[in-house]
Amino acid sequence: MTDAITLPIAPAGPGTASVAANVGETRQEGSEYFWFQRGVLLANSQQYAEALVDFEATLALFPTLIEALLYQGVCRLHLRQPAAALASCDRILTLVPHHTQALLFRGVALQQLGQYRQAYAVYDQALEGFCCPLQQHWWHHLPSLITPWQSLWNHILSSRHSVKPLS
């Protein structure tokens, strides 16, 4: 018997596929969500290359599944494929223009590409989605929102302090 898997669900925009109705159900291979579920487990086990294959299989079935696109982008960031991660984030943003996590990871991809000015502009856009009252403290609130990607968050913080301010 397979254990039930709870899937992390991001808000889905109009016209996008969502797995919200299937959260907590038992999944088996052959189920339409098998590849997504296995990808989540692999990504959370830091097996990003294997997870990426599963998210791409999921997206072949459900090309507008926001959660799969988001995980695809995160895996690509961990695999040091920032241009491909940027494409994943941009695809989400065409479906849900102000998707906060997609904006955040778009900023990370831009930062990895050395486009710091654009990255900080995108971080500011993401900030608007967090409704944080004090902009100077927004960095401290992000980890609770992106817990599954804590190692990536630690990388963002460490590289943020090593980058010279833009003038």
Q: Is the pLDDT of residue 116 over 70?
A: yes
Q: Is the pLDDT of residue 70 over 60?
A: yes
Residues 31-59 have pLDDT tens digits of 668 899 999 999 999 999 999 999 999 99
Give the CA count within 13 Å in the CB-facing half-sphere of 109: 25
How much of the chain, in percent, has pLDDT values that exceed 70? 57
For residue 92, the tally of other CB atoms under 10 A from its CB is 26
Per-residue pLDDT, averaged over 5-19, amounts to: 37
pLDDT band at 163 (very low <50, low <70, confident <90, very high): low
* DSSP H helix total and E strand total for the chain: 8, 0
What is this structure's pTM? 0.63
Q: What is the DSSP string of 66-104?
A: HHHHHHHHHHHHHTT-HHHHHHHHHHHHHHSTT-HHHHH
* The predicted structure's pLDDT at residue 127: 84
User: Which class in CATH covers the domain with range 20-162?
Assistant: mainly alpha
Q: Is the pLDDT of residue 142 over 80?
A: no
